[in-house]
């Protein structure tokens, strides 16, 4: 599949994560814009469709067709299986790990990946440790890559434990 | 890195025991232990002690990371690894310890998790990576782990254990007094892992969440990307095996989200930021070929 088409499919998939069903977990106001004018009140368990996220806010659509913004914290998405949450067409890639299905089925409690059992059996892999150095980014390289997005550093104070 | 081939087997075994204890705490937690409740294992461990040297963070981190990599290999994809390192390094540069030799890596593991080891090691599983939606979410996750390293959560936990005489002398006793080999050490390690298998202290996880969003925000990313990741995790069936270790070792995503949102409200909700969705998507698209 041409790469541009694949990227498009994955981007649609990425955007689609937000176009999803959920509900209001605590009564909240429906705003015209993020933190803007209040359009109405939503009670707990109101069903919503989440259209997109804008920082600490979700744009939502109500069953009656109204749209508006609610705080991120007031939204609870519908439950899904682990496989449903995988980005785009990466499910097969995800399951192409070194572990075979047989290995998975032999692990306790259905754990598929890294667990205490494997830790216990682990032999330190110093070769893999050395390999990490070859992938490491220097500060200048990281700054240059950030600037290309373009990201720029800013001052933000640490948060208090409230 | 220390060359263990020139060390007597006892020293290697003791150090491996120590490192495995470190890994147990790194991965599954560092709860305070009441030694009186541990029975014979506790008695053995209570006699055990090889204190962590004050300046050995990097050395302990090397060993801890090597043990981790022995359990979960790195993903053989240099382009993706370099991408994660560039993003991670940019986030780490915003921390209070920008000069650490930061190393980031994607583990070839389908579970949903991320890990930190002392000295600047940060690992994310491909299982978690495949569930993220943007570079900002990746930055938030890496920022959380960077926070653990910067705050020395794991390192301090190990030293706390050392103060309670938990580490090396159990190996000494096993090797010297009882003449047993590494199998006995492994049995002690296994018992200790069972005891430790409850995760880092919750306050350390909440602290790392707060540091993670601050580093991501300083880096110019959308600070609410990490809360969005927590919402992603919160919607996955909690009985999914991919989440078993994460949920065993961390507070529930909903609890983390509530605490984090409370800390961010009135401060970080005033910051906008980039999501980097397009650049992140291009990286993942390459993997789906």
Contact map slice: A 40-69 vs B, CB within 8 A: 53, 55-56
Q: What DSSP character marks residue A14?
A: H
Q: Are A123 and B20 in contact (CB under 8 A)?
A: no
Q: What is the pLDDT of residue A73?
A: 94
Q: What is the pLDDT of residue A110?
A: 33
Contacts of A138 in chain B (CB under 8 A): 89
Q: What is the pLDDT of residue A97?
A: 62
Residue A100 has pLDDT above 50, yes or no: no
State the ipTM, two decimals.
0.84
Higher pLDDT, residue A106 or B112: B112
Q: Are B127 and A113 in contact (CB under 8 A)?
A: yes
CA distance B18 to B34: 19
CB contact under 8 A, A114 and B69: no
Q: Could you tell me the domains of chain A?
A: 3-82 (2.30.30.40), 99-150 (no CATH)
> What's the average pLDDT block by block, 10 residues per block, for chain B (289 residues)?
38 48 42 41 42 61 79 92 98 98 94 87 93 96 96 73 49 49 37 39 92 98 97 86 71 93 94 96 83
CB contact under 8 A, A111 and B276: no
To which H or E segment does residue B275 belong?
none
C-beta neighbour count of A15 within 10 angstroms: 14
Number of alpha carbons in the 13 Å side-chain half-sphere of residue B24: 27
Q: From the CA atom positions of chain B, what is the Rg in Å?
A: 19
B286 φ, ψ (degrees, to nearest 5): -60, -35
Q: How far apart are the CA of A120 and the nearest CA of chain B, in angstroms?
A: 7
Could you tell me the residue ranges of all domains in chain B?
A: 4-287
Greatest CA separation found in chain B?
Answer: 63
Q: How far apart are the CA of A62 and the nearest CA of chain B, in angstroms?
A: 20
Identify any residues that bridge with A144 across adjacent strands, giving them in sequence order: none
Residue A123 has pLDDT above 70, yes or no: yes
Burial code (b: 16+ CB inside 10 Å, e: under 16) for A117-135 equals: bbbeebebbbebbebbeeb
Long-range contacts, B189-194 (Cβ 8 Å, 24+): B189/A120, B189/B17, B189/B20, B189/B21, B189/B24, B190/A120, B191/B41, B192/B21, B192/B24, B192/B41, B192/B45, B192/B166, B193/A116, B193/A119, B193/A120, B193/B20, B193/B24, B193/B28
Query: β-strands B103-107, B121-125: how paired?
Result: parallel
CA distance B132 to B285: 13
Q: Is A156 helix (H, G, I), strand (E, B) or coil?
A: coil
Q: What is the pLDDT of residue B34?
A: 42
The closest CB to that of B130, out of A87, A142, A160, belongs to A87
Greatest CA separation found in chain A?
Answer: 60
Q: What is the pLDDT of residue A47?
A: 96
Size (chain A), residues: 162
Contacts of B93 in chain A (CB under 8 A): 139, 142-143, 153
Q: What is the pLDDT of residue A18?
A: 46
């Amino acid at each position: 599949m041409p790469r541009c088409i694949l990227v498009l499919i994955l981007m649609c998939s990425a955007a689609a994560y937000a176009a999803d069903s959920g509900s209001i977990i605590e009564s909240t106001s429906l705003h015209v814009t993020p933190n803007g004018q209040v359009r109405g009140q939503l009670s707990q368990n109101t069903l919503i469709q989440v259209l997109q996220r804008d920082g600490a806010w979700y744009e939502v659509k109500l069953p009656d067709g109204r749209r508006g913004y609610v705080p991120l914290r007031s939204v609870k998405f519908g439950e899904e299986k682990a496989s449903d949450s995988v980005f785009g067409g990466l499910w097969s890639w995800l399951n192409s790990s070194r572990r075979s299905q047989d290995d998975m089925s032999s692990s306790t409690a259905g754990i598929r990946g890294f667990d205490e059992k494997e830790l216990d059996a682990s032999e330190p892999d110093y070769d893999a440790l050395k390999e990490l150095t070859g992938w490491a980014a220097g500060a200048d390289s990281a700054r240059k890559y950030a600037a290309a997005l373009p990201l720029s550093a800013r001052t933000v104070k640490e948060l208090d434990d409230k | 890195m220390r060359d263990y081939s020139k060390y007597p087997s006892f020293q290697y075994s003791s150090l491996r025991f120590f490192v495995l204890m470190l890994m147990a705490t790194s991965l599954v937690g560092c709860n305070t232990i009441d030694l009186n409740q541990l029975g014979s294992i506790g008695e053995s461990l209570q006699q055990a002690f090889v204190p962590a040297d004050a300046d050995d963070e990097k050395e302990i981190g090397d060993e801890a990371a090597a043990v981790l990599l022995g359990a979960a290999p790195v993903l053989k994809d240099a382009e993706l690894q370099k991408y994660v390192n560039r993003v991670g390094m940019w986030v780490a540069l915003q921390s209070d310890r920008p000069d650490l030799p930061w190393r980031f890596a994607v583990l070839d593991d389908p579970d949903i998790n991320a890990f930190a080891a002392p000295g600047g090691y940060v690992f994310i599983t491909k299982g978690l990576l495949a569930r993220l939606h943007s570079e900002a979410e990746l930055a938030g996750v890496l920022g959380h782990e960077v926070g653990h390293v910067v705050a020395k959560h794991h390192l301090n936990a190990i030293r706390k254990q050392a103060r309670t005489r938990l580490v090396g002398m159990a190996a000494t006793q096993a090797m010297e007094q009882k003449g047993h080999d590494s199998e006995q050490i492994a049995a002690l390690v296994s018992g200790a892992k069972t005891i430790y298998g409850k995760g880092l202290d919750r306050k350390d996880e909440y602290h790392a969440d707060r540091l993670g969003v601050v580093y991501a925000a300083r880096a110019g990313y959308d600070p609410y990307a990490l809360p969005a990741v927590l919402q992603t995790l919160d919607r996955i069936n909690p009985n999914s095996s991919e989440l078993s270790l994460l949920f065993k070792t961390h507070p529930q995503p909903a609890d983390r989200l509530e605490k984090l949102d409370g800390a961010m409200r009135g401060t970080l909700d005033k910051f906008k930021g980039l999501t980097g969705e397009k650049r992140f998507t291009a990286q993942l698209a390459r993997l789906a070929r």
